[in-house]
Amino acid sequence: MQYLDRHLTELAIDEAYTNPADPSSTSSPAEATNGSGGLNAANLHKYLTRLLYARRNKFDPLWNHLLVAGLDGDGAPYLASADLRGTAFSSPSLATGFGAMLAQPILRRSAATEEQAAALDRDAAVELVRECMKVLFYRDARSMDRYSLAVVTKEGVEISGDEKLEKQSWAFADRIKGYGTQTV
């Protein structure tokens, strides 16, 4: 991640010097970089995809699976993925790692299409992510029950760093058979 952090910091500095924001034309730095040539989520995703693909071609891949969330050049929500091979795609809902297998079906129930994802309000989307985190914790109970949650809107990014799983119930556990040592 240090390699990516260094490249992204350098990209942001280059972007700031190449396209300085005119204070009279925009009200915020986010609006200044929202133009089609500016540094927005769609352009950042393209850059990261090419960076990962170039490293793959050098037989020195970066072992990361990245999700890019934000706004594209038109101010529309943008969510896309890039993996260590440089494979890129966009979808209304995305997850990486274990979440790609277990949380993605839950996300697709509520946001299978772009229209369904756009119809979700903030509270419903956050509750959906919390449900996914609960399912993931039940499957890998050795992990911590704390996580960070980021919400990306046109107003900016809101990160809550200390979310805790609520309403956990292990009542179903005594009915599970087939794992570990069995005594009958």
Residues 75 and 110 in one domain: no
Which token pair is 110?
Answer: 């509520």
Q: Which two tokens stand for residue 103?
A: 């949380």
Question: 41-57 and 2-18 helices cross at what angle (nearest 10)?
Answer: 130
User: Is 26 in the same domain as 70?
Assistant: yes
My answer on whether 3 and 36 are in the same domain is yes
Do 74 and 100 fall into the same domain? no
Whether 53 is in a domain gets the answer: yes
List the domain range (segments joined by +) for residue 133. 93-168
The domain boundary, picked from 55, 71, 90, lies at: 90
pLDDT of amino acid 27 = 42
Confidence band of 63 (pLDDT split at 50, 70, 90):
very high
Same-domain pairing of 120 and 60: no
In a domain, 127, yes or no: yes
- Quick check: is 139 in a domain? yes
174 belongs to a structural domain: no
Q: Of the residues 90, 114, 144, which one is the last residue of a structural domain?
A: 90
What are 5-17's pLDDT values in tens digits?
998 999 889 888 8
Name the pLDDT band for 179 (thresholds 50, 70, 90): low
Number of compact structural domains in the chain = 2
- Is 78:69 a contact under the CB 8 Å cutoff? yes
Summarize pLDDT for 65-101 with one digit per residue, the tens: 999 999 999 989 999 999 999 999 999 999 999 899 9
pTM of the entire structure?
A: 0.77
- pLDDT exceeds 90 at position 183: no
* 139 vs 172: which has the higher pLDDT: 139
Asked if residue 20 and residue 78 are part of one domain, the reply reads yes
